[in-house]
Structure 1
Amino acid sequence: MTLFCLTGTPGTGKSSVSAELRSRGWDVVDGKAFLREHGLLGDYDEERDTYEVDLDDFNDALDGFRDSEGTVILDSHLSHFMDSSGIVVLRCRPAVLAERLMARGYSEAKVRENVQAEILDEILVEATETDIPVGELDTTSATVAEIADAAEKIISGHASDYPPGSTDWSTEMEEWF
């Protein structure tokens, strides 16, 4: 089995792109549901409004996918920490990201935390600290189908066509902080 990771700051479009990929016949695992179903959610951090996750336990629980035939796509903002064959990092302009998160009912503090993570390239930096091929996609104004097309190209071995670092939100830092 080949495991590919679809990751990005919450609100960048992982669930939408995953649904599109699933409709195209890909085997997609919802990371949040997987963690819940396998009892891997740790203590709840009220201050950050999130659950703690032991990344080693998460990675170990995915071994069953690695030992079978085919390709599986793991959709999770933590998936880039998993052993995989490739990583697709979704990005989004901070103002658009904030709108999406507010529409979900995120608190102001949670919106700011995620906007800051996006501006500082946190997930992209973490993903590129591995030897795993990484492709970066800006979802701000592209359609879900366009992003899914590009993700399929990355999965098929063309991550170098979507190089990490092609998206830079650093000039927007002053607007937020």
Structure 2
Amino acid sequence: MIIAVTGTPGVGKTTVSRLLSEKLGYEYVGVKEFAREKGIGEMVGDELEIDVDELAEAMLREFHGRDVVIDGHLSHFVPADVVIVLRADPRLVAERLMERGYSREKLAENVEAELVDVILVEALEENENVLEIDTTGKTPGEVVEEISELLERGIKRRFGIVDWSGVYDEVLPYLRLGSGRM
């Protein structure tokens, strides 16, 4: 089974993906590392721009018929049996990205993406089986248990459980259009 774990930067993808792969006994694969290894994409400034079609083809060839957890904010473009979309309160995403030293522009772009469900919408457009998981206030272990329980119960489609519209005013300072400071 191929499980793709995706979401906005800062929602906990890597930690959850590694723990999930350990719990299930699946191989762990990071999208960025795989793309670098296979020569997919090109460096633009200090970021690797990945061609998602080339990535999807290469990962399908490499992992078809194997048990693998694919980690990365582009993993929902890879053919998978189930896509897990991790979500987190945009204020938490902002805090984590500030700690990582993201530029104001990249921070605003990612907070806005989380606020308006960009990754979830893309995942639903690309995949039949999508599970949305709110990681806010949960430990990585709790998130893995929630995912495991849903998979064990055979649930393959669950979304619409997150609505960040109630925190919009509090997130405005992080957005490019907002007023105020970070």
Q: TM-score, normalised by structure 2?
A: 0.85
Identity %: 41
Amino acid at match of 1:58: L
Mapped to 2, the partners of 1:113 and 1:101 lie a distance apart of 11
TM-score (norm 1): 0.88
Match for 2:56 among 51, 59, 70? 59
More divergent stretch after superposition (110-119 vs 129-138)? 129-138
User: 2:151, 2:5 → 1: CA distance?
Assistant: 10
Is 1:4 the equivalent of 2:8?
no
What is the rounded CA distance, in whole Å, between the counterparts of 2:62 and 2:98 in structure 1? Answer: 36
Is the deviation greater in 167-176 or in 12-21? 167-176
Is 1:75 the equivalent of 2:71?
yes
Amino acid at match of 1:65: F
Contact map agreement 2:83 2:127 (CA 8 A) in 1: no
Which residue number corresponds to residue 120 of structure 1?
116
- Residue 173 of structure 1, CA deviation: 2.7
Q: Distance in 1 between matches of 2:110 and 2:150?
A: 25
**Consecutive aligned runs of 4 or more in structure 1 exceeding 6 Å deviation:** none
Is 1:170 the counterpart of 2:165 in the alignment? yes
- In structure 1, stretches of 5+ residues that fail to align are none
Count of aligned positions? 169
Are the equivalent residues in 2 in contact too, given 1:84–1:132 (CA < 8 A)? no
Letter of the aligned partner of 2:148 in structure 1? E
SS at match of 1:87: strand
Question: What do you get for the CA RMSD once the two structures are aligned?
Answer: 1.6
**1:30 corresponds to:** 30
3-state SS of 1:148 partner? helix
Q: Give the match for residue 110 of structure 1.
A: 106
- Structure 1 match to 2:175: none
Q: State the shift of 1:130 in Å.
A: 3.4
Q: Secondary structure at the match of 1:129?
A: helix
